[in-house]
Amino acid sequence: MRVIGSVLRRLLHTVVTLFLVLTGMWCLFRLVPGDPLVIFLGQGELGPVELARLRADWGLDQPLLTQYASYLKNFATGNLGTSFVFRQPVSEILVTPLLNTLLLMTPALVLSIGLGVMLGSHLGWRRGRAFERWGNALVLIPRTLPLFWLGIIVLVVFAYGLEWFPIGGMRTPAFIPETWWQRLPGFDIAHHLVLPVAVAVLHLVSDPLLIMRTSMIEVINEDYVTFAHARGLSDATVRRIARRNALMPVVTYSAVMVGFAFGGQVLLEVVFAWPGVGRLMVDSVIQRDYPVAQAAFFLMASVIILLNLLVDFAYLALDPRVKLD
Amino acid sequence: MSSTHAIASLAAAALLTLAVPAHGQGQGERTPGGPVGPINMLMPDWPEMMEMARLLKPNWEKLGVTVNVQHAQLNSMVAQTTGEHRAPHISITGWGGGPDRIDPDFFLSEFFHSKRSVKGGQNYGQYVNPEYDKLVDAQRGEMDDAKRHQLVKQAQQMLVRDRPGLVLYYIDYLTPYRTDRIDGASSVMGNGTSLSYIPWTYYDGKVKKGRPIVKTLTQYDITTLNPFATGEVTNAALLRWSYAPLVMRDKNMALIPWAAESWKVVDPKTVEVTIRPSMKFSDGQPVTAADLKFTLDFINQWKFPSYARYTDNIAQADQVNDRTVRIQLKQPYAPFVANILGSAFIAPKHVWEGVMTKNAGLKSPAEWPNAEPVGYGPYALSEWKKGEYIKFTANKQWYRAPGFDEVYWLIVPSVDSQLGMLESGNADLMAWNLTPSQMQRLKASKDISAPPAPSHAPREARFNITLPPFDDVNVRRAFSMTVDRKQLVNTLLDGAATPGNDAYISPKLDWSDTSIKVPEFDLEGARKMLQAAGYTWDASGKLRYPAK
């Protein structure tokens, strides 16, 4: 009973947070100096008369409160507005780039979190040994190198140099498969995925890895681990127990990491010409395409918030000592 | 915690990218004997402009003023100058040269006619001169070519006399392509080999080896397939591959019939256009004069902003027979053939007349996605994978059928990646104007060439003549004399540019008044001019206003 109460309270909390993010973002974009329609003025083809008409069409001449109210109403019914730049519904514009980003980031995140947890637990277990010291240093290198530089170097070596992989893009236009493996379904896209995913993993693996390592180090000093050793359990078994307990901070962090990964990989998308949502976000801000920018940012924020919620619930399963309050 | 984090990052991102410092405030007053205040100069954040500032500033400061340089993102700068008319003392811009700007009316009217000194117009320097207005209006309505040339020359002389802006240089387009793949590439004024505006490489070129499928690299995607919706130049140009305009420029800039077979200027306000026989839309329907009339009426009915400037002048369009339309203008308009027939296309009536009734919720046909464009020109736009590529398939029924079968415009935002793809043979052309260092790099490949083509659009410095000291023509002229144009051309572009003569018409066009020479760098002459106008320099060398 108490559990259901906490769950409901947590859900309410999430809804309120989402609402505040939506409002905050809407306000921020309205506070920005300059008038979005001025971009069209700048292109020279709209005079003041046509501009006034556009402004009326898009409801930008209404009082702010009215605009806000209609925005909320539309949002609730799934109408995310119409893009100023594309003049098409925002929801249609977001779909394909979002799917493209998902295609890129899902394997990247799965691999980085998976590898991060595995390697992190090994590093934490072997604290103090040479393996751990070298491991720490090596892992930090790709993390601290600028992502676009890393991407370009990888391209230089593997795409221009060795010509093992394409130089970018998501697929080869007018692709004609020649060998048997090229004829396998999805080969072209998979071929294009390898390098950007590899660079993303190199860059993203260090965070879960180091968190896991730290967490592991704390856990192995706990009493129950000493006790497990004392009971005569094998090294591998004790490590498995420790790992499960050390997993919590990584799970929490993963929620945030996944959210940011969706919007934040612009550099990757530019270097590899990947048509994803990160590029769309940046372009929409530059072009003052408010509806698209708002929707994309809100998407990113809500992914983080919702994943956080899921993580909170996951805690209930992972650690019985945790209460939701 | 995470939501606050999100809001904070959003705030930072929004404010950083969009904040533009306010200019046009506190820019100094003309106090007799007082110091000539700091000059504020605004330019886009292109590498060429950064370097240019370093060359312009020290020379201008030799006149005894401080010059503050501000770089801004192009969109922000345009919003401030063109959109809000809050230009600082000097605004430096590099203009793009679409085919509708070859006719002198664009630069002469759009930049300096008083009617365009309103928000949205490009006369953000606020040059208002009724004498000039009359001259420019006269050339616009003068249908006799020789007389019009005279009037255009006079307009140029007036601009040079009043010096509301400076033309620094006209760049050369250096657009690279692979010579081992493409035969018959044409490097054309305002377009180079690979851009989309006057694309003779794509219309007449052939493939030397391999499949006749050509790949071009570009940084930016289009935003719509609807020819009525867009005014953005590249988007419109690409759609014109399918919605072919009535008239086109050939490789020497002469006007040739394209979707039209012929045209006749019946009287200064009447033009008759006959379209080519046997043209077919991609859905098999024939292209007729009824479709052309429909298109002109449609644009007038809906007042699409992208076409307003041109069709505002069309009073009436009547179908004379199944291939001819008679167009009545409200006033004589000399650039009619070049600009209106050069951008007017034929939309299929059977598709567009039903757009509003078949699609609920549209406020205008410009909002219809037109996902399957029905055109008739040399290429059909057959596929658009947003953010990835645009695919054109050759229309072999076109009277001058392209030698390629397919053309892909690949969207690759990183120019470095583009260079790599061109060098490795993964693409055949690059729709990009090379910087000098990029040109050096590509010179190393024997299979890549970038034959230069001049641009007809200037790199210019516009004065805001409402702000002292630029309300004084002597100061404007002095500033013109302290620009070393040859140095700019050689240092910034390795010589791949033509110095400008401040007359705003490219010296490579026959409209140019060749008696107007490029100003030489002459610091002494500039100082003498200022002195004669009453300006003085104080003990520390700072320029001071005349004591009046």
The string of DSSP letters for A209-246 reads HHHHHHHHHHHHTSHHHHHHHHTT--HHHHHHHHHHHH
List the strands of the sheet with B260-267, edge to edge. Answer: B260-267, B270-275, B324-329, B314-321
> CA-to-CA distance for B52 and B93, rounded, in angstroms?
11
Count Cβ atoms within 10 A of the Cβ of residue B407 and give its class: 0-12 exposed, 13-18 middle, 19 or more buried.
buried
Count Cβ atoms within 10 A of the Cβ of residue A171 and give its class: 0-12 exposed, 13-18 middle, 19 or more buried.
middle
CA distance B398 to chain A (A): 23
What pLDDT, on a 0 to 100 scale, did the predictor assign at position A324?
A: 58
CA distance B186 to chain A (A): 25
Contact in structure between B455 and B172 (CB atoms under 8 Å): yes
> CA-to-CA distance for B234 and A273, rounded, in angstroms?
20
Averaged pLDDT, A165-173: 89
Q: Which residues of A touch B303 (CB under 8 A)?
A: 50
- Which of A43, A147, A191, A294 is the best mutation test for B, with the most CBs of B within 10 A? A43
Averaged pLDDT, B78-86: 87
Contact in structure between B243 and B347 (CB atoms under 8 Å): yes
Name the nearest CA neighbour of B331 among B141, B71, B528, B57. B141
Reduced to 3 states (helix: H, G, I; strand: E, B; else coil), residue A109 is: helix
Q: Which residues of B touch A288 (CB under 8 A)?
A: 18, 75, 79
pTM, two decimal places: 0.85
DSSP per residue, B205-265: -EESSS-SEEEEEES-----S-TTT---HHHHHHHTTTS--SEEE-TTS-EEESSEEEEEE
Return the top range by mean pLDDT from A40-49, B159-168, B308-317.
B159-168
Name the nearest CA neighbour of B175 among B411, B415, B394, B390. B415
For A45, which of B119, B306, B391 is closest by C-beta distance? B306
For B83, which of A38, A171, A259 is closest by C-beta distance? A38
Q: In this prediction, what percent of chain B has a pLDDT beyond 90?
A: 78
Contact in structure between B162 and B481 (CB atoms under 8 Å): no
Q: Give the residue from chain A lying closest to B120, CA to CA.
A: A41
> CA-to-CA distance for B446 and B188, rounded, in angstroms?
22
Mean pLDDT computed over every residue of chain B: 91
Contact in structure between A97 and A279 (CB atoms under 8 Å): yes
> CA-to-CA distance for A206 and B256, rounded, in angstroms?
62
For B387, which of A45, A97, A285 is closest by C-beta distance? A97
- Please say whether the dihedral angle defined by the alpha carbons of residues B243, B245, B251 and B257, taken in this order, is positive or negative: positive
Q: Do A285 and B215 touch (CB under 8 A)?
A: no
Averaged pLDDT, B408-426: 92
Mean pLDDT computed over every residue of chain A: 84
Q: Which residues of B touch A169 (CB under 8 A)?
A: 388, 410, 412
Q: Give the residue from chain A lying closest to B121, CA to CA.
A: A44
Q: Do B411 and A32 touch (CB under 8 A)?
A: no
> CA-to-CA distance for A113 and B534, rounded, in angstroms?
74
Block residue for tokens 């000291």: B469
**Parallel, antiparallel, or unpaired: how do β-strands B165-173 and B39-44 relate?**
unpaired
For B426, which of A43, A167, A301 is closest by C-beta distance? A167
Q: Give the residue from chain A lying closest to B117, CA to CA.
A: A47
- Which of B223, B235, B307, B428 is the best mutation test for A, with the most CBs of A within 10 A? B223
CA distance B153 to chain A (A): 25
Whether ipTM exceeds 0.85: no
> Residue B67 corresponds to which tokens in the numbers above?
């010059």
pLDDT band at A40 (very low <50, low <70, confident <90, very high): low
- Cβ neighbours of residue B26 closer than 8 Å, sequence gap 6 or more: none
Name the nearest CA neighbour of A115 among A220, A206, A178, A18. A206
Q: Which residues of B touch A273 (CB under 8 A)?
A: 410-414, 417
Summarised one tens digit per residue, pLDDT across range A228-247 is 888 888 888 888 888 888 88
Judged by a CB distance cut-off of 8 A, whether residue A50 touches chain B is yes
> CA-to-CA distance for B299 and B277, rounded, in angstroms?
24
Residue B488, Cβ neighbours under 10 Å: how many? 21
> Residue B361 corresponds to which tokens in the numbers above?
């919720």
> CA-to-CA distance for B130 and B107, rounded, in angstroms?
17
Higher pLDDT, B27 or A139: A139
Judged by a CB distance cut-off of 8 A, whether residue A152 touches chain B is yes
CA distance A111 to chain B (A): 23
Reduced to 3 states (helix: H, G, I; strand: E, B; else coil), residue A103 is: helix
CA distance B532 to chain A (A): 39
Q: Which of residues 198-227 of A touch B (CB under 8 A)?
A: none
What pLDDT, on a 0 to 100 scale, did the predictor assign at position B178?
A: 97
> Residue A35 corresponds to which tokens in the numbers above?
């008038």
Averaged pLDDT, B392-410: 96
CA distance A105 to chain B (A): 17
Q: Do B414 and A21 touch (CB under 8 A)?
A: no
Helix B2-18 vs helix A290-318: angle between axes, to the nearest 10 degrees?
Answer: 160
Averaged pLDDT, A240-266: 83
- Chains A, B: CB contacts within 8 A come to 186
For A33, which of B19, B410, B426 is closest by C-beta distance? B19
Summarised one tens digit per residue, pLDDT across range B257-281 is 999 999 998 998 999 999 999 999 9
- Which of A21, A26, A41, A149 is the best mutation test for B, with the most CBs of B within 10 A? A41
Judged by a CB distance cut-off of 8 A, whether residue A90 touches chain B is no
Residue B525, Cβ neighbours under 10 Å: how many? 15
What pLDDT, on a 0 to 100 scale, did the predictor assign at position A181?
A: 85
Q: Which residues of B touch A287 (CB under 8 A)?
A: 75
End-to-end Cα distance, chain A: 13
Contact in structure between B161 and B449 (CB atoms under 8 Å): no
Judged by a CB distance cut-off of 8 A, whether residue A96 touches chain B is yes
What pLDDT, on a 0 to 100 scale, did the predictor assign at position B83?
A: 82
Reduced to 3 states (helix: H, G, I; strand: E, B; else coil), residue A264 is: helix
Judged by a CB distance cut-off of 8 A, whether residue A100 touches chain B is yes
pLDDT score of B13 more than 50: no
Q: Do B387 and A96 touch (CB under 8 A)?
A: yes
